[in-house]
Amino acid sequence: MSRIRVFPDPVLTTPTEKVTAVDGEVKKLIKEMFRVMYEAEGVGLAANQIGEPVRLLVVDTSLKEGVEPVKLVLINPEITHREGSVKSKEGCLSFPGLTVELKRARKVTVKGLNEEGEEVELTLEGFPAVVLQHELDHLMGRTFLDHLPAWRRRLALERYRKLLKEQSP
Ligand code: ZN
């Protein structure tokens, strides 16, 4: 059983390692990531959010109303094209309770491997594109706070520390 790592856990600020083989272990990890994500009612999860420092992410927006349903697994993902800009209000399972407004690309093309180890390339737009960029940041050891100017980052961290205090028993 895995638990979601919460900031400032160092696994969240360390870039992850490339997956070298899509084997049984990786498939087990993918299953576990979906399980943890659904349990937490999230729409995306990066492997290091459950403490596994590898380049692997999952997305499923189909349980959220009013957005395009996209379910995917991406191993060693890389964004090859970005287009446009969109304001995005985001939460993060690793920052319980905190929401932050930031700008993301509106449309992205990403390539990587699927869970069969086959090369895939896809273009996402709108909400699924935002989720994908959020999860990819995690794999690079970045969080949504890294998109904010220093003063907004400081305020968000203050807000987050208060939230953590309120949540701890
Ligand atoms: Zn996150």
The pLDDT of residue 169 is above 80 = no
The pLDDT of residue 19 is above 90 = yes
Domain 10-167 class, CATH top level: alpha beta
pLDDT in tens, 104-126: 999 999 999 999 999 999 999 99
pLDDT in tens, 73-82: 999 999 999 9
Q: Is 41 a catalytic residue?
A: no
Set 32, 116, 135, 166: catalytic member:
135
Taking alpha carbons only, the member of 64, 131, 125 closest to residue 93 is: 131
120 CA distance to ligand 1 middle (Å) = 23
Residues around ligand 1, an ion, CB closer than 5 A: 92
pLDDT in tens, 34-93: 999 999 999 999 999 999 999 999 999 998 999 999 999 999 999 999 999 999 999 999
